[in-house]
């Protein structure tokens, strides 16, 4: 390949990569025309606030997909985290302690699955499917199947208050996005995640501790899913036993839309973020346009297919 070919390749790559961003902007413009409430009723942050939990779940999936894994348990872990936090607050724990312990539990849930996958060699899909079952059931056991009210104003503020005019939820998701971007872009461990996803055996032979890093990716996935669960609970001032149920699919869809490669080694935080924003806004748009919720998953499915086909064309176009 000569230099000019390379340049064209980079330009096309950029346009393809930003295709999702362009789609997102087009969607915003479209919605502001057809749904008057979309712009007027809320400020710019309402889009971001709605998207915050999905962004966090997308970060979970990004991290495990980079190492050629998948995590089906993120929704269940989110639900369990909210339930645990609420239960502990009902038992009289101060909210920061309850928050810390619940997030610790979420991280351990992820780490446990990661260890099972990488040290006992159980397929990611099966191990986290089992996790999905187990954590959903634990949530029902902990909550006794009833929504738990959260009366602690300190905790509920996470879903209501603002810092410098920006909602707390947006701060949380935004900081996580920045931290993950810095980690993946600058640190050696971040580079190792890409190496593992690209060629696991080569990474191992280069002395990278593959199993440990892959397990830690799952621990991160649990942690980030736990944060999403905290936001769910704080938004409603309630730990709903069904919170997070089924949210693994939109999370996976978001990163796939954002160009994260399902089989590892390729994908960016930027892509995952834009994918999550686009999907979240589409789902909001359906509500604004008064479209029956029966169509929600249909639209989700079509968007996933379109995104994957775009990715396929991208691959065929460049290789």
Partner 1 sequence: MKSADMAGERAGQAPLLSLRGIGKRFGAVQALRDIDLDIWPGEVLALLGDNGAGKSTLVKIIAGAQAPSTGTMHFNHKAVRQFDPRYARDLGIETLYQDLAVAENLDVAANIFLGRERKRRLLGIFPILARREMRKQSALALQKLAIELPLRQPVGELSGGQRQAVAIARAAYWQAKLVIMDEPTAAIGVGEHSAILHLIQTLAASGVAVILITHTMPDVWQVASRITVLTRGEKALDGNPENLDENTVVKAMLVGKGVAA
| DSSP labels, 19-63 | HHHHHHHHHHHHHHHH-THHHHTS-THHHHHHHHHHHHHHHHHHH
Distance CA(310)–CA(81), nearest Å, equals 35
Interface with partner 1 includes 52 (CB under 8 A)?
no
Residue 107 beta carbon to partner 1: minimum distance, rounded to whole angstroms: 22
Pick the piece of the chain touching partner 1 (CB under 8 A) from 15-23, 152-160, 203-211, 223-231. Answer: 203-211
Site for partner 1 in 4-23 (CB under 8 A): 6
- Inter-residue contact 241 to 140 (CB < 8 Å): yes
Interface with partner 1 includes 195 (CB under 8 A)?
yes
Interface with partner 1 includes 202 (CB under 8 A)?
yes
Within a 10 A sphere around the Cβ of 101, how many other Cβ atoms?
Answer: 15
Closer to partner 1 by Cβ: residue 100 or 194: 194
- Inter-residue contact 110 to 118 (CB < 8 Å): no
Residue 69 beta carbon to partner 1: minimum distance, rounded to whole angstroms: 15
Residue 179 beta carbon to partner 1: minimum distance, rounded to whole angstroms: 12
Work out which of 45, 93, 204, 270 binds partner 1, going by CB under 8 A: 204
- Inter-residue contact 67 to 196 (CB < 8 Å): yes
Residue 35 beta carbon to partner 1: minimum distance, rounded to whole angstroms: 40
Q: 165 by DSSP, 3-state: which?
A: coil
Interface with partner 1 includes 205 (CB under 8 A)?
yes
Q: How many residues bind partner 1 (CB under 8 A)?
A: 23
Closer to partner 1 by Cβ: residue 56 or 210: 210
188-217 burial code (b ≥16 CB/10 A, e <16): eebebbbbbbbebeebeeeebebbebbbbb
Interface with partner 1 includes 186 (CB under 8 A)?
yes
Pick the piece of the chain touching partner 1 (CB under 8 A) from 55-63, 78-86, 98-106, 181-189. Answer: 181-189
Work out which of 4, 121, 201, 294 binds partner 1, going by CB under 8 A: 201
∠83-85-162 over CA atoms, to 5°? 110
Q: What is the DSSP letter of 189?
A: H
Residues that bind partner 1 (CB under 8 A): 1, 6, 186-188, 191-192, 194-195, 197-199, 201-208, 265-266, 319
């Amino acid at each position: 390949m000569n230099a000019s070919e390379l340049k064209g390749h980079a330009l096309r790559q950029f346009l393809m990569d930003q295709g999702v961003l362009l789609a997102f902007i087009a969607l915003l413009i479209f919605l502001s025309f057809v749904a008057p409430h979309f712009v007027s009723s809320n400020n710019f942050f309402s889009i971001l606030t709605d998207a915050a939990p999905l962004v966090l779940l997308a970060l979970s999936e990004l991290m495990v997909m980079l190492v050629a894994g998948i995590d089906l348990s993120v929704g269940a872990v989110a639900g369990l985290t909210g339930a645990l936090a609420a239960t502990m607050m009902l038992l009289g724990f101060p909210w920061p302690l309850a928050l810390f312990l619940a997030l610790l539990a979420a991280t351990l849930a992820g780490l446990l699955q990661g260890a099972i996958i990488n040290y006992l060699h159980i397929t990611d899909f099966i191990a986290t499917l089992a996790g999905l079952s187990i954590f959903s059931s634990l949530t029902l056991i902990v909550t006794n199947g009833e929504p738990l009210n959260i009366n602690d104003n300190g905790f509920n503020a996470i879903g209501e208050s603002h810092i410098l005019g920006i909602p707390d939820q947006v701060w949380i998701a935004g900081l996580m996005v920045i931290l993950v971007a810095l980690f993946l872009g600058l640190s050696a461990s971040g580079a190792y995640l890409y190496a593992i996803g690209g060629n696991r055996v080569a990474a191992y032979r280069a002395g990278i501790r593959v199993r440990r890093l892959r397990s830690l990716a799952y621990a991160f996935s649990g942690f980030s899913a736990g944060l999403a669960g905290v936001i769910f609970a704080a938004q409603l001032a309630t730990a709903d036993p069904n919170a997070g149920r089924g949210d693994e699919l939109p999370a996976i869809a978001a990163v796939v839309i954002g160009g994260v490669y399902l089989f590892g080694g390729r994908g960016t935080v930027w892509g995952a973020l834009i994918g999550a924003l686009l999907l979240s806004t589409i789902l909001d748009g359906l509500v604004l346009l008064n479209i029956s919720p029966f169509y929600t998953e249909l639209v989700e499915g079509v968007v996933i297919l379109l995104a994957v086909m775009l990715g396929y064309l991208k691959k065929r176009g460049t290789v």
